[in-house]
Amino acid sequence: MIEKSLKIYQSTKNKINALNYAMYMINWDSETEAPVGCLEERSKQLGNITEMIVSLSHKKTYVNALKDIIANKDKVDEITWLSASKEFEELEKELKVPSKELVNYQILLATSGQTWLEAKQTNDYKHFAPKLDKIITWQKKYIKYLETPNCKGYNVLLDTYEKGFTEEDYDKFFDTLRTELVPFVKEILSKKPIDDSFNKEYYPIELQKEFAKYLLKVMCFDKTKNVIKESEHPFTTGYGTTDERITCHYYDHLLTSFIFSIIHEMGHATYEKNCDPKFDDTALSGGSTMAMHESQSRFYENIVGRSYQFWKTHYPILKQTFVEQLKDISLDQFYRAINKVENSLIRTEADELTYPLHIMIRYEIEKKIFNNEVKTKDLPKLWINFIKNI
């Protein structure tokens, strides 16, 4: 019996893996270079692929094979058992949602990215609001499907994102942040600000790319396994341990953006690359949890990337690249500038100290969204209020 289950499991899993690999490729293409004109075609194909994944993984024979494997821990190898268990856990949730809705949500997401990009580039929230509203509506429905007596409302989403964490945990965490960190930030902000005006000089993108090459080498970028490209919003993606890709965004009047994006994303990429290859093509691939992932990227960015020792070695090279712009800026000035605390409006450009406040605001906003206390159209107002009254 278990042999039959293993056979069904492996042959279905091979197909699901291939389809996930296809999704990975299509999404990477879509974020980094696909022409906007093919959006409709691409969304249709993404919908078709999602439909195939859903129909394969929801098949009774597959679900039963998973159950059989989980029940026979002593008869299967450890990795298979762990992978099947993780898949089943996720599948149990998914099975509560009608397949058609899972597919439509993927199509919605596929078309939303472009709308978000247009809205961002024209600074027009109204353009994106209808899509965002549909996403929120879907998430609220998703909550309804998944709610249990022990896990309700926003907690359903929190648990999906980082298993085991609840509003109660986060409230406690952010309360500490509010009482301890906010006064400290305010104290710093009351002092004479550090001069980082050099950061907003003109930095030709070609030269930024030249320094990026150097920096990537420093961060152990391995061109046999890594790819770097540009995208509106920096991110890391990958498949298994042999293919990790990062993006950054070059701004011609902002020196530090691409630098800390590269260091941050290389944290994610390095984490995935250094996973044990025995997890490749299993549900255990891609790192353990989102929190673990982010701990790696932020360790790289803040503990390594904003340290004096790091720049003692690498600042001379940066100075060589931007001779004119940095000629009056000493290592000490640079070091202080990249650690400057300020009321930034952009999360990904935020310093180490105010970054958590962005997360706190995001959390408070999401709580209000899923407690039905704010309408999608009023989100910008709410956000500004939070920023002002922190």
Catalytic site positions: 265
Residue 99 as a binder of its own copies (CB under 8 A): the answer is no
Residue 164 as a binder of its own copies (CB under 8 A): the answer is no
Applying CB under 8 A, among 87, 196, 243, 301 the residue interacting with its own copies is 243
For residue 183, which amino acid is it? P
Subset of residues 274 to 293 that bind its own copies, contact rule: CB under 8 A: 280-281
Subset of residues 37 to 56 that bind its own copies, contact rule: CB under 8 A: 37-38, 40-42, 44-45, 48-49, 52
Judged by CB under 8 A, which stretch of 115-123, 172-180, 221-229, 298-306 contacts its own copies? 221-229
The mark string for 9-28 relative to its own copies (x by CB under 8 A, - otherwise) is -----xx-xxx-xx--xx-x
Nearer to its own copies, 55 or 288 (CB): 55
Overall size of the chain counted in residues: 390
Tell the smallest beta-carbon distance from residue 117 to its own copies (Å): 13
Residue 115 as a binder of its own copies (CB under 8 A): the answer is no
Tell how far CA 107 is from the center of its chain: 19
Query: Tokens 């090459």 belong to which residue?
Result: 213
Applying CB under 8 A, among 201, 222, 230, 232 the residue interacting with its own copies is 222
Judged by CB under 8 A, which stretch of 71-79, 194-202, 208-216, 236-244 contacts its own copies? 236-244
Judged by CB under 8 A, which stretch of 234-242, 253-261, 299-307, 338-346 contacts its own copies? 234-242
For residue 152, which amino acid is it? K
Nearer to its own copies, 37 or 164 (CB): 37
Residue 226 as a binder of its own copies (CB under 8 A): the answer is yes
- Asked whether 341 and 188 are in contact (CB, 8 A), the reply is yes
Q: Where are the beta strands (DSSP E) in the chain?
A: 226-230, 236-239, 243-248
- What distance in Å separates the CA atoms of residue 251 and residue 230, rounded to the nearest whole number? 11
Upper half-sphere CA count for residue 115 (Cβ side, 13 Å): 17
Q: Please name the residue ranges forming H helices in 147-178.
A: 154-161, 167-176
Residue 31 as a binder of its own copies (CB under 8 A): the answer is no
Nearer to its own copies, 29 or 124 (CB): 29
The three-state secondary structure class of 230 is: strand
Nearer to its own copies, 209 or 367 (CB): 209
Applying CB under 8 A, among 95, 151, 182, 227 the residue interacting with its own copies is 227
Tell the smallest beta-carbon distance from residue 301 to its own copies (Å): 23
Q: Which of 237, 251, 293, 268 is nearest to 32 (CA)?
A: 237
- What distance in Å separates the CA atoms of residue 137 and residue 131, rounded to the nearest whole number? 10
Judged by CB under 8 A, which stretch of 32-40, 166-174, 196-204, 339-347 contacts its own copies? 32-40
Residue 61 as a binder of its own copies (CB under 8 A): the answer is no
The mark string for 176-215 relative to its own copies (x by CB under 8 A, - otherwise) is ------------------------------x---------
Contacts 24+ apart (CB under 8 A), 153-158: 153/370, 153/371, 154/366, 154/367, 154/370, 154/371, 157/366, 157/370
Q: Please name the residue ranges forming H helices in 190-255.
A: 205-218
The three-state secondary structure class of 148 is: strand
Nearer to its own copies, 17 or 344 (CB): 17
Judged by CB under 8 A, which stretch of 81-89, 136-144, 225-233, 287-295 contacts its own copies? 225-233
- Asked whether 127 and 160 are in contact (CB, 8 A), the reply is no
Residues 6+ apart with CB under 8 A from 314: 214, 215, 218
Buried b / exposed e along 171-181 (16+ C-beta atoms within 10 A): eeebeeeeeeb
Residues that bind its own copies (CB under 8 A): 14-15, 17-19, 21-22, 25-26, 28-29, 33-38, 40-42, 44-45, 48-49, 52, 206, 222-227, 229, 239-240, 242-243, 280-281
